[in-house]
Amino acid sequence: MPAAAFRKEKRPSIRIRPLFVLWHRWFGILAALWLALMGLTGSAVVYYDELDVWLNQDLKKVEARAEPASVELWFAAARDQFPDRFIRFVDLPGAPDDSVRLSMPSLEDDSEIEVFVDPYTAELLGSRSYDAAGLGPRNLMNFLYGLHLDLHLGDWMLWFLGLVAFFWIFDHAVSVVLSFPTARKWAASFRVRLRKGRHKFTFDLHRAMGLWLWPVTLMFAVSGLYFNWYEHVVAAVDRVSRVTERAIFALPANDEADFAPQIDFDEAFTIAGRLEGAPEVDLASYNPWKAAYELRAHDVRDIDPYGRRMIVVEANSGKVLSDRHITEGTAGDVFLAWQYPLHSGKAFGGIGRAILFVSGILVAILCITGIILWARKLGARRWRKGARRLG
């Protein structure tokens, strides 16, 4: 019997690279529109506060004076103007010339408005609806923020954008494999050839930009998944490292909402200020279904400009139910705590925000160059088919 008969039959090997090329091409085509929109609107949202102040000086800025009016007078001005609403959220002034921002949902429907008050005179400066669509100065930044959040299309779009983020994470691994065809010439993948023709320039720009942006876009993908699929991500992280549930979420809901608790916001601020370290409250919210205040205070452990020491006060007894900084706890707690500071760029101050602003624009360019490369390949393929028919 010939020796060849004893040789094992060769099985056809599966080539991974062509599969990765196919995946990357079609993911890019299908996801390009959404990623470009998220990138461009995200760049605008990075400077949400500054742009909103510039567009709405009359709402956001006041004349600084010696002493502010009492918190109760702020709220009285808002309640007098909007008696069919309650105060859910308070954003205290961060600078002497800042106004007070209140969020006031309706007692009758799902609408909610922002109300701005002069902290020194307790004068009502104006209001605007969260749901108002438009490109005018009053609503432009809220409109862009909503566009970035879910394209103003609600929960189903949140789910869809979460799916895009999930696949984008996988695509990051694929793109690295495709960007380094040979180990010896790895450095060439980071460069752009300027005098090799338009196609090579576009290809190099797409590849090099993707590699230089890779850490930032991976962060966008992971944090985007967190924001859009919050409960699923928290559950997945909890399986790896136990996650501490946010105290206000852990409280049981009452049968009826309490819109007139014995403890008001001002007293809740005072209670929080008596705690260890005399924390300065930055933001506060009231949950009528749980009859509890959640106050966010500044702390040396903060990882962005917002107060991240979360203090929960029972609204009828004044008892402090929880006092915890979001970075305390397990590795899972720390991982989740960093998602917003990283996604917004605020974890690294002005430099971090500038990097994210530019990165959002570059993500859109990355999508455009990918579409151009696909269109050229498609055109070349059709030309070859036509040439064969003619030949």
Residues 25-41 pLDDT 10s: 999 999 999 999 999 99
Do 216 and 359 meet the contact criterion of CB atoms below 8 Å apart? Answer: yes
pLDDT for res 2: 56
pLDDT for res 11: 52
pLDDT for res 384: 61
Question: Which residues have C-beta within 8 Å of that of residue 39, sequence separation ≥ 6?
Answer: 359, 360, 361, 362, 363, 364, 367
Return the half-sphere exposure (C-beta side, CA atoms, 13 A cut-off) of residue 73. Answer: 9
pLDDT for res 6: 47
**Cβ neighbourhood burial of 240 (10 Å; 0-12, 13-18, 19+):** exposed
Question: Which residues have C-beta within 8 Å of that of residue 265, sequence separation ≥ 6?
Answer: 71, 75, 87, 90, 284, 286, 293
The candidate with the shortest Cα–Cα distance to 149, out of 136, 135, 139, 159, is 159
Residue with tokens 């007894």: 317
pTM for the predicted model, two decimal places: 0.88
Residues 42-71 pLDDT 10s: 999 999 999 999 999 999 999 999 899 999
Query: What is the strand order of the sheet 89-91 is part of?
Result: 124-129, 112-117, 100-105, 89-91, 281-287, 292-297, 309-314, 320-325
3-state secondary structure at position 37:
helix
Do 129 and 111 meet the contact criterion of CB atoms below 8 Å apart? Answer: yes
pLDDT for res 130: 85
E strand map for the chain: 89-91, 100-105, 112-117, 124-129, 281-287, 292-297, 309-314, 320-325
Residues 305-363 pLDDT 10s: 999 999 999 999 999 999 999 999 999 999 999 999 999 999 999 999 999 999 999 99
Q: How far apart are CA 71 and CA 82, in angstroms?
A: 17
Do 58 and 126 meet the contact criterion of CB atoms below 8 Å apart? Answer: yes
Question: Which residues have C-beta within 8 Å of that of residue 202, sequence separation ≥ 6?
Answer: 369, 372, 373, 376
Amino acid at site 275: L
Question: Which residues have C-beta within 8 Å of that of residue 263, sequence separation ≥ 6?
Answer: 271, 293, 313, 314, 315, 316, 317, 318
Q: Which two tokens stand for residue 33?
A: 């529109």
Do 367 and 32 meet the contact criterion of CB atoms below 8 Å apart? Answer: yes
User: Facing residues of 296 across strands?
Assistant: 283, 310
CA distances (Å), origin 250, targets 189, 245, 247, 312, 322: 49, 6, 5, 11, 11
Q: How far apart are CA 74 and CA 120, in angstroms?
A: 9
Q: How far apart are CA 149 and CA 312, in angstroms?
A: 27
Cα angle 77, 80, 81; round to 5: 90
pLDDT for res 391: 56
Return the half-sphere exposure (C-beta side, CA atoms, 13 A cut-off) of residue 84. Answer: 7
Below-50 pLDDT ranges, the chain: 1, 6, 12-13
